[in-house]
Amino acid sequence: MLRRPLVPACALFVLAASNALAADATLAPFGAVGSAPTAPWHVVGLPQQTKPFTRFSVVDIDGKRAIKIEADESYGNLIHPVQAAVPAHLAWQWRIEKPLENADLRQRAGDDTAVKVCVSFDLPIDNIPFTDRQILRIARGKTTEPVPAASVCYVWDAKLPAGTALDNAFTRRIRYIVLQSGNDRLDRWVSERRDLGADFMRLFKDESPNAVPPIIGIAIGADSDNTKSHAVSYVSGIALEP
């Protein structure tokens, strides 16, 4: 029986904002090879999580310092709080070694990702529908990690076509954009650069038609708890840019 909360932890980021893309928007290095990622990077799971956590480790691969992400019937996200106003871009490289063939983001039973990069926005709670607002308040009461009202997650999916946009199967507080699809590029680095303001408006214009809220967190993650499977991926060179 699926028991993932209505606001999953990939949306858990420290709530902070500024009026410009400044020095405090810089993402910290991952840390030394062979170690866990260094602060302010930190791993967050579901509130009161009992299932295994997705594992994150710092590695060198193909000359790149990267985070290796291993999801084994697990859930977890590596989060970095930031302060940045938009417009801004997010750039990174990612690579999949072992995909999730049974994932299906359109339904709860398949709501797993072999790799995802998420951006959290400080959308005012009054902007979201009444029912979501009450659920969000409950979620915020169950964790010491503040829960924002809007997150855009970029995913590499095994089946859905690139360009697909859809809501998370558990909550509309998280919305997906599929950037890469299929297994043609397994074991190869793929570079991405996204206009965060444009992507926010594409997915959340219904709740914030006149403004893009500040960016308040970046997350790297993978999960395979719903499909009871195993995935291995890497993320490198993640950076906020003007």
C-alpha span between 196 and 89 (Å, rounded): 6
**pLDDT grade, residue 148 (50/70/90)?**
confident
Reference 92, options 156, 3, 39; nearest CA is: 156
Mean pLDDT in residue range 28-36: 96
Kindly report which listed range (39-43, 132-136, 224-228) carries the lowest average pLDDT score: 132-136
Reference 145, options 7, 6, 4, 3; nearest CA is: 7
Reference 175, options 200, 197, 198; nearest CA is: 200
| Between 94 and 20, residue with greater pLDDT | 94
pLDDT digits (tens, 9 = 90+) for 131-143: 898 888 887 877 7
pLDDT digits (tens, 9 = 90+) for 163-203: 999 999 999 999 999 999 999 999 999 999 999 999 999 99
Residue 10's pLDDT is 41
Averaged confidence pLDDT in the chain: 89
**pLDDT grade, residue 87 (50/70/90)?**
low
